[in-house]
Structure 1
Amino acid sequence: MALIEVEHITKIFGPNPKQALARVRQGLGKDALLAETGHTLGIDDVSLSIERGQIFVIMGLSGSGKSTLIRHFNRLIDPTDGTILVDGKDVMALGNRELEDFRRRRMSMVFQRFGLMPHRTVLQNVAYGLEVRGLGRAERQRQAKEWVEAVGLSGFENQFPSQLSGGMQQRVGLARALATDADILLMDEAFSALDPLIRSQMQDQLVALQARLGKTIVFITHDLDEALKIGDRIAILKDGQLSQVGRPAEILLSPADDYVRAFVRDVNRARVLTVDVVMKPPQHRITEENLERALADMRRMGADYGYAVDGDSYRGIVTQDAVKAAIDEPNGARTTWDVAQGHPVLNQTDPLEVALPTTLEAAYPVAVVDEAGHLRGVVSSANMSDVLAPPEDDVPPEPVAPGGTAGSAAMRTG
């Protein structure tokens, strides 16, 4: 079961949302609802499943409803209709005291503008949630110091927020959220106020921390590059409606509609996609140690070459010519592994821009191995071309934010 289940959430802002909900269910759209009733449709029948341990990104342009949606998770906003389950428990059924405890222990939040208390030091800010929870001074300071170190701010414990850069302030906010040891971290445009270089560093640190801690992170952004970089799964919203949910590769390679297609049109696929997206199963696996049997296997498969695998371990590429020469040479190699050639290999997580030169220079499809040296697949430059070359279909105009212009600049307006 998913950790967070969002089921048919609709949110309408205005004096009579329930009455307006009936009109929405009759098919009235966002603009028409506003014109007819004066009500604003913030979220329109959105359902999501978020698995434990994921970085789940919710993205869209300004006014798409992404920040409204995330505020439903901890009930900073109550829905007009729909249900939110966390670990199978209905968040809407929580009483005031239960909700307060839920926010303290299950969900922490990191905001765009840091939200630090200016009169408190770094250590005191990070320890605040632990103080509210009732931990003693010595214990909360001990834990707070660990999280200050985890986000790379050792030595700044006694500084005040005004003495820190924007990136350092956001690290304090992240440490404060992590210090509560909540299962779920909500991050609403947490890095959007940072300079590009600091922002990239914070993205890298977030991914590294999540890999180490196994937290479930729901991350809001308007930046597609950021979503593709950090997200395990991405949900794209438009005018309060869900356009598509999928892994980054699915969003890039199989956009669900023209809106998503316009979003991903100018993405550098070679930088975003990894080898595991394009690799194929190796057609010619050679598992025979005996040279004669290995040669017979290649002839039976009609293959001039094969990928030699000894148990689970990849040994290299063998060719019919090399095996024949070894058989004809009395004092030469005696096993298939002896003639296996150690061609370059790739890792499943290598970006395509890193892997492409290797495939272009290789005489055969390049072996893809995991960290244990096991053969997982093969990849050729032709495989890469299939996904790196965008389809030649007519592409509609790019999404435009309200008051913005087309293109990436519009995507980055908040």
Structure 2
Amino acid sequence: MTNESPTEPLIQIKDLFKVFGKKPTKVMPMVREGLSKDDILAKTGHTVGLKAINLDIHKGEIFVIMGLSGSGKSTLIRHFNRLIDPTEGQILVEGIDVMKLNTKELEQFRRNKMAMVFQRFGLMPHKSVLENVAYGLSVQGIDKATRNAKATQWLETVGLAGYEEQYPSQLSGGQQQRVGLARALCTDAEILLMDEAFSALDPLIRSEMQDQLIELQKELHKTIIFITHDLDEALRIGDRIAILKDGNLIQVGEPVDILLNPADDYVEAFVKDVNRPRALTVETVMKPPAYRLTADTIGEALKQMKRIPANYAYYVTDEGFQGVVCQEALEDAVKTDKEALMEDFKVEEMTPISQDALLESIIPATMESDFPLPVIDSDGDLQGELSRAHLADVLSDFYTDGADDSTDEEKQNSTKEDK
């Protein structure tokens, strides 16, 4: 049993400070008074590593901590499993204060609750790949047959079946990092700590490892704390991102929040060069579907149409999105038979876009369409719409050459007057 309630975060960091030096507690009053990191170093010879960090991390999320060198990100991750003890503050995991664990309890906690994947792989050169992966289970006292079977299974999962008897020196960097990942996963630890885990890899291999982590997470639902200095990587894999600067927590949010609503100039400088079309999905920027028709007959559909400010609407049935309907076409059809069924009415076909699609992939279709594009989910149900004007607004900061040629009328979004 744990002290965790269903709504309580898995990990809570509360008012965490870390000062490096011989007498950190004596320096804390200066830190709390707000003296800068540089001033404290000059006056006392102590270095402020972390200052007033408060974080909630939820079960099953990939939580990315990012910042430049010296920001405190690697210092912070080492507090989670108490490789570093804070000067002040609390670290709660499932409601348990990690700072109160004795030596034996802390050892068990590190073995069973958290596993770490290092930047430089951390493999033992004198042990085979299989022995490296099984090492954590060996420390836990699991018998050889069981741990080897499990290690073999995880090697297959990360794409290294057949490499069991190889040694680390015989593997490429990407393969060595896969061994490190398999070793961390093999212990069944609920929490993975990944400190710049992919930073030493070539860009292509790094991208492959990011893809693999995302795919594995869909099945495993681990809680992953991932350290990086690369915002593109953070945006690609993170469910939420925390940005550190000089030991201070600057902003926490989902990738779209960081990208579209930077907290200050520091974060804005980080995000300004991000390729937004490749980083944002349709779902993150779409608008709710403004106008939809659900009537059974043409006459009822025209009544619905006249109640909305646009001269078009999406036609939706129990089977999902069917197409777009213009008021003019309905008015013509009503003259013939207002009781005619909408299912027999010829709607204007329009290919919907997936809410999971990257903006990059839908730019041509959006720019060519006379109407905002309908956005559907995996079941084909209408979830939103994306117009030329809104897409231009979202991307205007990225495309700084003034390519937004949308008119003011378009940006007011399709009223009868501008249609």
Residue number in structure 1 paired with 2:75: 68
In the TM superposition, what whole-angstrom CA distance separates every residue of 1:113-135 from its partner, at most 9, and x where no partner exists?
Answer: 10111111111111111111111
Contact 1:280 1:378 in 2 (8 A): yes
Contact 2:9 2:94 in 1 (8 A): yes
Deviation of 1:337 after TM superposition, in Å, equals: 6.4
The residue identity in structure 1 corresponding to 2:293 is I
In the TM superposition, what whole-angstrom CA distance separates every residue of 1:230-278 from its partner, at most 9, and x where no partner exists?
Answer: 1111111111011111111111111111111111111111111111122
2:192 paired with 1:185: yes
2:227 paired with 1:237: no
Contact 1:308 1:337 in 2 (8 A): no
Contact 1:68 1:77 in 2 (8 A): yes
Q: Please give the residue correspondences for 1:104-253 in structure 2 after superposition, counting only pairs within 5 Å.
A: 104-253=111-260
Whole-Å separation in 2 of the counterparts to 1:340 and 1:132 = 66
Residue number in structure 1 paired with 2:382: 375
Q: Decide whether aligned partners of structure 1 residues 112 and 384 sit closer, same or farther in structure 2, where only a CA change above 3 A counts.
A: same
Deviation of 1:35 after TM superposition, in Å, equals: 0.8
The 3-state SS of whatever aligns with 2:307 is helix
Contact 1:322 1:339 in 2 (8 A): no
Contact 1:177 1:185 in 2 (8 A): yes
Q: Please give the residue correspondences for 1:34-45 in structure 2 after superposition, counting only pairs within 5 Å.
A: 34-45=41-52
Which one of the candidate residues 324, 328, 341 is aligned to 1:321? 328
Residue number in structure 1 paired with 2:277: 270
The 3-state SS of whatever aligns with 1:339 is coil
Identical pairs, percent: 58
Contact 1:11 1:43 in 2 (8 A): yes
2:18 paired with 1:5: no
Residue number in structure 2 paired with 1:17: 24
Greater shift in the superposed pair: 319-328 or 16-25: 319-328
Whole-Å separation in 2 of the counterparts to 1:283 and 1:185 = 42
The 3-state SS of whatever aligns with 1:49 is strand
The residue identity in structure 1 corresponding to 2:81 is N
Residue number in structure 2 paired with 1:297: 304
Q: Decide whether aligned partners of structure 1 residues 320 and 175 sit closer, same or farther in structure 2, where only a CA change above 3 A counts.
A: same
Whole-Å separation in 2 of the counterparts to 1:83 and 1:13 = 17
Residue number in structure 1 paired with 2:261: 254
Contact 2:128 2:168 in 1 (8 A): yes
Residue number in structure 1 paired with 2:57: 50
Whole-Å separation in 1 of the counterparts to 2:319 and 2:58 = 31
Deviation of 1:335 after TM superposition, in Å, equals: 2.3
Whole-Å separation in 1 of the counterparts to 2:239 and 2:277 = 18
In the TM superposition, what whole-angstrom CA distance separates every residue of 1:360-404 from its partner, at most 9, and x where no partner exists?
Answer: 1111100000001111000111111111112999xxxxxxxxxxx
In the TM superposition, what whole-angstrom CA distance separates every residue of 1:214-244 from its partner, at most 9, and x where no partner exists?
Answer: 0111000111111111111111111101111
Q: Decide whether aligned partners of structure 1 residues 337 and 157 sit closer, same or farther in structure 2, where only a CA change above 3 A counts.
A: farther
Structure 2: give runs of 5+ residues left out of the alignment: 1-7, 401-419
Residue number in structure 2 paired with 1:284: 291
Structure 1: give runs of 5+ residues left out of the alignment: 394-414
The 3-state SS of whatever aligns with 1:219 is strand
Contact 2:297 2:340 in 1 (8 A): no
The residue identity in structure 1 corresponding to 2:74 is S
Contact 2:273 2:398 in 1 (8 A): no
The residue identity in structure 1 corresponding to 2:233 is E
The residue identity in structure 2 corresponding to 1:23 is M
Deviation of 1:325 after TM superposition, in Å, equals: 4.6
Deviation of 1:338 after TM superposition, in Å, equals: 4.4
The residue identity in structure 1 corresponding to 2:215 is A
Contact 1:5 1:47 in 2 (8 A): yes
The residue identity in structure 1 corresponding to 2:347 is A
Scaled by the length of structure 1, the TM-score of the pair is 0.91
Q: Decide whether aligned partners of structure 1 residues 389 and 337 sit closer, same or farther in structure 2, where only a CA change above 3 A counts.
A: farther
Deviation of 1:81 after TM superposition, in Å, equals: 0.2
2:127 paired with 1:98: no
Contact 1:315 1:337 in 2 (8 A): no
Scaled by the length of structure 2, the TM-score of the pair is 0.90
The 3-state SS of whatever aligns with 2:263 is coil
In the TM superposition, what whole-angstrom CA distance separates every residue of 1:311-351 from its partner, at most 9, and x where no partner exists?
Answer: 36222212223334544567x97324642333111111211
The 3-state SS of whatever aligns with 1:282 is coil
Residue number in structure 2 paired with 1:311: 318
Deviation of 1:303 after TM superposition, in Å, equals: 3.2
